[in-house]
């Protein structure tokens, strides 16, 4: 009789949990070691004044196939509200994609966009057409600003369309952002089927959306979740792979930590030195989320609004998780990082007064700064594979090789890829 495989997953973020769910589903229970007291990593629930809020607002899009498959498998997909792509930045700009087959939805959406001149619309249409013509593959990577210059993109297009998309998707300023990664995002959203560009807004806190259900799924199939268990290093000997501070030996270990923690974890594995060096060279970008508790619900006509002329970039109405609750997102680095909390709050409230008529009185505010929210998605990035030079050791996380920026979809895909590699390995050695 063959012994069951001993599988460890280090990190209970979306990558590690997706991996453990996929393994559990294949009858391969794993133990998840999570350093924090809670699951979810960079997409997690927090408690604020008795309300379940998130560390940061997350948006999914229709193209997130593996994330949607995972949520469906966990029975959680009804916690997402699907809406056609609407980018509303009152009063200056509005782009709404009608429910028409692709690519008509983009063409007619652009034609009817408010806040763009005919010259802007023509330039945007030509740019999208040129990218499509070349299969969204650039001959060489460069910054997004350079690509936009080359394609004659106007100031209005940059300000109202390309910069907000770049910040929301790549969390990297346009002057530093990889034009190729940006094109990959366009390919799978505006450049794909109509439903792929739909926005999917969580209608529950992030913990309820996935990690709680994943933990229950994993445990019900014989897996284990160990919270508050930091693993400082992975080593190996003749018996297999070992985790620092643990006696157990594992056949398969998936490192699913934040990339900044990876080099330390691999420090005793000479085979992994090139990967550790590669990841140690990554840069990171922050995301600030300002949670605002108002006396009354905002009752916006749309659940998310673009903000202009100030530090806040997006306003989300979160009346769904608490009365009068809203969040404002500020992606990537910028002058806002050197503003004091009160000055930032005052500037954001000024923006909200311009965008929301009859803004209710503010009760309270909470600023959450995720300093290393995502890796900086810069040109020509090299990213490590899920399989490593050490048999049995795998890497999962949004930073592993993929043509996506740091996203939930990138994290989930990487976790599932590791689970499949483990299964293949087990099947070939049976």
Check residue 35 for interaction with ligand FAD (CB under 6 A).
yes
Of 317, 336, 397, 417, the one binding ligand FAD by CB under 6 A: 397
Backbone torsion region of residue 140, taken as left when φ is above 0, otherwise alpha when ψ lies between -120 and 50, otherwise beta: beta
Check residue 66 for interaction with ligand FAD (CB under 6 A).
no
Rounded distance between C-alpha atoms, residue 70 and residue 77, angstroms: 9
Parallel, antiparallel, or unpaired for β 7-10 and 31-34? parallel
Site string for ligand FAD, 238-277 (x = CB under 6 A): ------------------xxx--x---x------------
Site string for ligand FAD, 285-324 (x = CB under 6 A): --x-x-----------------------------------
First and final C-alpha spacing in the chain = 10
Rounded distance between C-alpha atoms, residue 176 and residue 407, angstroms: 18
What is the per-residue burial (b if ≥16 Cβ within 10 Å, else e) of 376-394?
bbbbebebbebbbebebbb
Other Cβ atoms less than 10 A from the Cβ of 303: the count is: 19
Check residue 10 for interaction with ligand FAD (CB under 6 A).
yes
Site string for ligand FAD, 107-136 (x = CB under 6 A): ------------------------------
Of 219, 230, 246, 420, the one binding ligand FAD by CB under 6 A: 230
**CA angle, 287 as apex, 282 and 293 as ends, to 5°?**
165
Number of residues that bind ligand FAD (CB under 6 A): 37
Output DSSP code: residue 134. T
- Looking at the Cβ atoms of 163 and 409, the one nearer to ligand FAD is 409
Of 19, 20, 30, 43, the one binding ligand FAD by CB under 6 A: 43
CB of 336 to ligand FAD, least distance (A): 14
User: Strand, helix or coil at 18?
Assistant: helix
Sign of CA dihedral 98, 103, 104, 107: positive
Site for ligand FAD in 337-396 (CB under 6 A): 370, 373-374
Check residue 205 for interaction with ligand FAD (CB under 6 A).
no
Parallel, antiparallel, or unpaired for β 393-395 and 252-255? parallel
Which of 108, 287, 83, 107 is closest to 199 using CA atoms? 83
- Looking at the Cβ atoms of 16 and 303, the one nearer to ligand FAD is 16
Check residue 211 for interaction with ligand FAD (CB under 6 A).
no
Of 34, 163, 188, 212, the one binding ligand FAD by CB under 6 A: 34
Name, in order, each residue with C-beta under 8 angstroms of 263's C-beta and a sequence gap of 6 or more.
276, 277, 279, 280
Residue with tokens 């049995």: 392
- Looking at the Cβ atoms of 146 and 232, the one nearer to ligand FAD is 232
Check residue 28 for interaction with ligand FAD (CB under 6 A).
no
Which residues lie near ligand FAD (CB under 6 A)? Answer: 10-16, 33-36, 41-43, 55-56, 58-59, 230-231, 256-258, 261, 265, 287, 289, 370, 373-374, 397-398, 406-409, 411
């Amino acid at each position: 009789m063959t012994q069951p495989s001993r599988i460890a997953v280090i990190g209970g973020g979306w990558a590690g949990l997706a991996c453990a769910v996929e393994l559990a589903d294949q009858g391969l229970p794993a133990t998840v070691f999570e350093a924090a007291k809670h699951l979810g990593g960079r997409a997690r629930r927090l408690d604020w004044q008795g309300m379940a809020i998130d560390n940061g607002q997350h948006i999914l899009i229709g193209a997130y196939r593996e994330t949607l498959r995972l949520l469906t498998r966990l029975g959680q997909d009804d916690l997402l509200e699907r809406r056609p792509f609407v980018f509303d930045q009152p009063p200056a700009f509005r782009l709404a994609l009608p429910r028409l087959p692709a690519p008509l939805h983009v063409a007619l959406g652009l034609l009817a966009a408010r806040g763009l001149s005919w010259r802007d619309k023509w330039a945007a249409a030509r740019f999208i057409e040129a990218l499509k013509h070349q299969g969204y593959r650039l001959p060489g990577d460069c910054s997004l600003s350079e690509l936009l210059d080359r394609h004659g993109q106007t100031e209005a297009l940059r300000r109202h369309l390309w910069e907000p998309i770049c910040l929301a998707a790549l969390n990297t300023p346009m002057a530093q952002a990889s034009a190729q990664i940006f094109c990959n995002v366009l390919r799978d959203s505006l450049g794909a089927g109509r439903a792929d560009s739909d926005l999917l807004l969580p209608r529950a806190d992030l913990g309820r959306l996935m990690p709680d259900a994943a933990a229950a799924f994993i445990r019900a199939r014989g897996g284990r979740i160990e919270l508050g268990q930091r693993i400082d290093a992975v080593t190996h000997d003749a018996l297999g792979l070992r985790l620092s501070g643990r006696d157990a030996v594992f056949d398969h270990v998936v490192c699913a930590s934040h990339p900044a923690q990876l080099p330390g974890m691999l420090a005793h594995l000479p085979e992994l030195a090139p990967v550790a060096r590669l990841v140690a060279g990554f840069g990171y970008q922050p995301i600030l989320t300002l949670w605002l508790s108002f006396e009354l619900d905002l009752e916006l006509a749309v659940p998310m609004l673009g903000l202009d002329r100030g530090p806040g970039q997006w306003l989300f109405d979160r009346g769904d998780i608490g009365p009068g609750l809203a969040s404002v997102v500020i992606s990537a680095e910028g002058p806002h990082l050197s503003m004091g909390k009160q000055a930032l709050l005052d500037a954001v409230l000024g923006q909200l007064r311009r965008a929301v008529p009859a803004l209710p009185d503010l009760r309270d505010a909470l600023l959450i700064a995720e300093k290393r929210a995502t890796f900086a998605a810069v040109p020509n990035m090299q990213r490590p594979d899920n399989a490593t030079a050490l048999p049995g050791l795998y890497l999962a996380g949004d930073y592993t090789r993929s043509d996506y920026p740091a996203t939930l979809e990138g994290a989930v895909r990487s976790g599932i890829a590791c689970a499949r590699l483990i299964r293949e390995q087990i099947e070939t050695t049976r």
